[in-house]
Amino acid sequence: MADNKISAVVAYAPAEPGKIDLRYESLTFTRKDPGPKEVLVNMLAVGICHSDIVVGGAPDGMMGAYPKVLGHEGAGRVQAVGSDVTSVRVGDPVLLSYTYCGSCDLCTDDGPYYCQEFLGMNVACIDKVWKGEKGTEVGGKFFGQSSFANLSMVDENSIVNVKGLVDDDEMLKKCSPLGCGLMTGSGAVVNTAAAKPSDVVLVTGLGAVGLGAIMAAKIQGCRAILAVDRVPSRLDMAKQLGATHTIDTNHLDITQDSYSADLAGEVKALIEDGKINFALETTGALPIINACIKSLSKRGKLIQIGIPIPFPTSIIPLDFQDFFGGTKQIEINYLGDCVAKDHVPKMIQWYNEGKFPFDKLIKFYPAKDVAQALEDMKTDVIKPVLVH
């Protein structure tokens, strides 16, 4: 069934760490039909997530071998289903998220977002789904989907059937980013923090994850929502979406030892009682992580979402007396503790009610223009969406 040529954005081993090498080219499927629990999806669009950039910039072998097809915020329609697939039928509109084994103790007890096999199933791209024009095997199944291809074999567990919720193709394209970044940020507020109207929420880094958290904190009615970033347009967007206070960090030198204490001081000065209940950290920059910890009030919790960036090392200079005396907490968070099949429809409902205007963050690009989309992410574009 899938023996035709397809187009895809293919990741090749970077010349140096962090220098992602993406090429738009033609591929051929290595097998014709979906396996028992697979779904062949005709992709309409895919959001670019920071995780695509991190994995695509990793040295060969660190997060699986190259070449491979990334993409994990896909949207499309079902073209064929495997023999054991029960959640979708041919023609159904679908949004895509992460995959999981569904049988380990963490899947069953904690939630599939903490699956014991998560990294292997979502990041490694072990399944050689395609071949390149020179016969080179190309890895797929990134997050169970590899939606940087316009036609892909997808794990059934990655699929959210949105039939009856999103039947229009243009709206389906618009909803593609709901499968990861926006879900992670909003879920961290609603599920992990379970934020209340009496809470103060600090959000550092205003990409899709951070702005998703801002919108969710407004939905929860939090009494104060603090947004931290160094891009003025993103701070302005945070205000539009619900932030009550903003801090532009351009006047602070992140290389200085005093950075964390200075930023924490500015954060606490914005709230009359100085009480910060939750910090949602999305940048991964160690001085900012430490500033979040210093900002928290007693029993406050840091919800760490961003992947830590060594700056200059991977060690956080934690003031343990402050941490212990304040009985503060740190939690590493995956995907906002969200079961995609439950949370994605919730975000669509919020959008329809005018509470979650995620479309303000989106800019569409033809898939062949992926390089321009990546460049624009460095400045004003928050969520580029590639259209196949």
| Burial classification of residue 314, based on how many CB atoms lie within 10 Å of its CB (0-12 exposed, 13-18 middle, 19 or more buried) | exposed
Tell me: the pLDDT tens digits for 7-26?
999 999 999 888 999 999 99
SS3 172: helix
**Quick check: 189 pLDDT over 90?**
yes
User: Residue 334 is encoded by which pair of tokens?
Assistant: 């995956």
Tell me: the pLDDT tens digits for 326-369?
999 999 999 999 999 999 999 999 999 999 999 999 999 999 99
**Quick check: 2 pLDDT over 70?**
no
**Quick check: 311 pLDDT over 80?**
no
**Quick check: 370 pLDDT over 80?**
yes
Tell me: the pLDDT tens digits for 277-294?
999 999 999 999 999 999
What CATH class does 5-179+357-387 carry?
alpha beta
Yes or no: say if 346 and 333 are a contact pair by the CB < 8 Å rule: no
| Burial classification of residue 257, based on how many CB atoms lie within 10 Å of its CB (0-12 exposed, 13-18 middle, 19 or more buried) | exposed
pLDDT at 3: 53
In the chain, domain spans: 5-179+357-387, 185-335
Same fold, 5-179+357-387 and 185-335: no
Cβ-proximal residues to 71 (8 Å cutoff; 6+ apart), any chain: 9, 46, 48, 52, 142, 143, 145, 146, 147, 148, 149, 386
What is the spatial distance between Cα 249 and Cα 154, in angstroms, rounded to a whole number?
A: 41
pLDDT at 167: 85
What is the spatial distance between Cα 188 and Cα 192, in angstroms, rounded to a whole number?
A: 5
Sheet with strand 329-332: strands edge to edge = 245-248, 224-229, 200-204, 278-281, 301-304, 329-332
Handedness of CA 344, 346, 349, 351 (dihedral sign): negative
The mean pLDDT value for 304-333 works out to 86
| Burial classification of residue 68, based on how many CB atoms lie within 10 Å of its CB (0-12 exposed, 13-18 middle, 19 or more buried) | buried
What is 185-335's CATH topology?
A: Rossmann fold (3.40.50)
pLDDT at 380: 87
Residue 293 vs residues 117, 203, 261, 265: alpha-carbon distances, Å = 30, 12, 10, 12
- The model's pTM is 0.95
**Quick check: 1 pLDDT over 80?**
no
Tell me: the pLDDT tens digits for 214-236?
999 999 999 999 999 999 999 99
pLDDT at 377: 94
pLDDT at 312: 63
Report which of residues 316 and 353 the model is more confident about. 353
pLDDT at 31: 86
Specify the residue for token string 């891009």.
Answer: 231
Question: Which stretches of the chain are assigned E, i.e. beta strand?
Answer: 5-12, 21-29, 38-47, 68-69, 74-81, 93-96, 128-131, 137-139, 151-155, 159-161, 200-204, 224-229, 245-248, 278-281, 301-304, 329-332, 362-366, 383-387
User: Residue 244 is encoded by which pair of tokens?
Assistant: 């009550």
Bridge-partner residues for 366, per DSSP? Answer: 387
Average pLDDT of the chain, as a whole number = 95
Residue 165 vs residues 237, 241, 352, 382: alpha-carbon distances, Å = 27, 23, 10, 25
